[in-house]
């Protein structure tokens, strides 16, 4: 069972929103989730 694939891309400005999104996903599903995070580094 591979789980539900979830892809998120963000930078540091949106880190709190990404954290809330992940917490909400974990709280609202009983299925295994495969989280893939892509962080964009901005200069």
Alpha-carbon distance of 20 to 22, in angstroms, equals 5
pLDDT at 2: 81
Q: What is the predicted pLDDT for the residue at 30?
A: 92
Q: Which residue ranges make up each domain of the chain? A: 4-39
pLDDT at 42: 77
| Beta strand ranges found along the chain (DSSP E) | 4-10, 33-39
16 Cα distance to chain centroid: 11
Reading the chain (43 residues) residue by residue, the pLDDT tens digits are 688 999 999 998 999 999 999 999 999 999 999 999 999 887 6
Q: For the chain, report the end-to-end CA distance as a whole number of angstroms.
A: 39
Of 20, 24, 26, 21, nearest in space to 3 by CA:
26
pLDDT of res. 41: 85
Report pTM: 0.77
């Amino acid at each position: 069972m591979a789980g539900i694939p979830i892809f998120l891309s963000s930078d540091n400005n949106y880190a709190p929103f990404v954290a809330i999104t992940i917490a909400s996903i974990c709280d609202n599903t009983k299925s295994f989730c495969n989280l893939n995070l892509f962080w964009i580094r901005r200069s």
